A and B are shown apart, each in its own frame.
Chain A
């Protein structure tokens, strides 16, 4: 088989995943695109391993390790996404601009107006209500 077939397919899949990571808004769809990129790399590893006929079979061994690490990554990533969703009420990556758990970060940019209109004393109460709702 010509080596260009698997390598070109891997390059195209990688760029598809690249587009997904850059263009998607939902964090879970970003994780799906990351999976596509990892799979493109795995395809390259297997193709080069079969081509070079390595005695240690480094390509296939590293593919297995990459698959295991990708499984760990998706587990941790999903836990982070769920924690963020529970705290902020959204998993849209371009609306999560604050890195700290402040009062302002708890509200989405869309409903900042209502947040500012509220009295400062009622804002923590609203947050406590949200914490009760998610608990």
Chain B
């Protein structure tokens, strides 16, 4: 069956236009991700993260998941990166190069990452060597389809998630407010 599927599809040597676009955007995304975790300038890391996350949004578009692509742009590029930049500035991150951005065990970390990447890529390529995604037909992640499956089959998790977001909001406020009563209590004890 797998051989028949392999015979019915073109191989690696004749990639389609979507595959070429996916490969090029994927290379840009991976490069931006590598720069994000290796650059010594902290603010540049956040800006390269924008490139990586935007590249992933383009990959979602190429996989016909349009709604998720725009959600990715809105939430990750729009708010998460801004939050990270605010965090960098609030912790007085140096603007220029900071030589101690990486800890001393970076070579161990690199070895672990390369080993994990080798194992994962090998297993994945071996497992899905003869598997093709059929991107023909109507887009599977259009806003129409997304709204239908989200509010027909996933309503309860959706509402539970809104409660979780509320809890996270309150938790962040509690964590970040200055606890004046607690501070004075500690001073009294001292």
Using a CB–CB cutoff of 8 Å, the interface residues on chain A facing chain B are: 1-9, 11-20, 22-26, 28-29, 31-33, 35-36, 39, 42-43, 46-47, 49-51, 53, 56-57, 60-61, 63-65, 67-76, 78-83, 85, 91-94, 124, 128, 131, 135
Cα distance A46–B60 when bound, in Å?
A: 7
The digit string for B139-166, where 1 denotes a CB below 8 A from any CB of A, is 0110001100110011001100100110
B120 to chain A, nearest CB (A): 4
Residues of A within 8 A of B128 (CB): 2-4, 7
Total B residues in contact with A, Cβ cutoff 8 Å: 92
Using a CB–CB cutoff of 8 Å, the interface residues on chain B facing chain A are: 12, 15-16, 18-19, 22-23, 26, 29-30, 33-34, 36-37, 42, 45-46, 49, 52-53, 56, 59-60, 62-65, 67-68, 71-72, 75-76, 79-80, 83-84, 86-88, 90-91, 93, 100-106, 108-110, 112-114, 116-117, 120-121, 124-125, 128-129, 131-135, 140-141, 145-146, 149-150, 153-154, 157-158, 161, 164-165, 168-169, 171-172, 175-176, 178, 183, 187, 190
A28 to chain B, nearest CB (A): 5
Option from B106, B135, B153 in Cβ contact (under 8 Å) with A61: B153
Contact A131 B164 (CB under 8 A): no
**Closest residue of chain A to B49, judged by CB?**
A32
Residues of B within 8 A of A4 (CB): 124-125, 128-129, 131
Contact A26 B93 (CB under 8 A): yes
Residues of B within 8 A of A8 (CB): 121, 124-125
- Sample of 9 further A-B pairs with CB below 8 A, known A46-B63, A56-B153, A135-B183: A1-B19, A5-B26, A11-B120, A43-B56, A56-B149, A57-B140, A75-B83, A79-B175, A81-B87
Cα distance A17–B155 when bound, in Å?
A: 32
Residues of A within 8 A of B190 (CB): 124, 128
Contact A23 B105 (CB under 8 A): yes
Contact A7 B140 (CB under 8 A): no
Contact A5 B91 (CB under 8 A): no
A-B contact pairs, 24 of them (CB 8 A): A1-B62, A1-B133, A2-B131, A8-B124, A12-B33, A15-B114, A25-B101, A28-B87, A36-B33, A39-B52, A49-B141, A64-B71, A67-B68, A68-B75, A70-B76, A72-B168, A75-B172, A78-B83, A78-B84, A78-B86, A80-B175, A82-B176, A85-B90, A128-B187
Contact A81 B91 (CB under 8 A): yes
